[in-house]
Amino acid sequence: MASDPKAVAERYFSCMKAGDLAVLDLFSDEATLPGLGMRRQGRAEIEAFYSGVIAGARPSPSPAGPLLCEGNRAIAEVVIELGNGTRIPAIDVFVVEDGRIQSLTYYIADIPPPDECASGATP
């Protein structure tokens, strides 16, 4: 397994786009996954999260620009396309230690649903 944060992040996106649970092998046993107002900690919680998400929403994140890397971190602006066609802008921040994701924090844009945008409603 590559230890370069950029290579690890690229592998993460590849696994997610393929709906491949091999994505779990990229996380360390003590990894954290903060996002959506929750903090998943450790292999079991992260496995439960990804197993459910991949089977349900079928997210397919794609970088919307270059991966920015510095030291053990990689940051990506992404667009997550769900199985139902919904597209969600987000920022993913990876911290990689010894070739495994130690932390993946994701920031999801707070945007109104498309029908609210079309009607001119404001959040």
**Which CATH class for the 5-119 domain?**
alpha beta
- pLDDT tens figures, 74-105: 999 999 998 888 899 999 999 999 999 999 99
What are φ and ψ of residue 97, in 5° steps? Answer: -130, 130
- pLDDT tens figures, 47-59: 999 999 899 889 8
Which of the 8 DSSP states describes residue 110?
-
Predicted model pTM: 0.85
Domain residue extents for the chain:
5-119
Q: For residue 42, what pLDDT is reported?
A: 95
Q: Is the dihedral of CA 8, 109, 105, 20 positive or negative?
A: negative
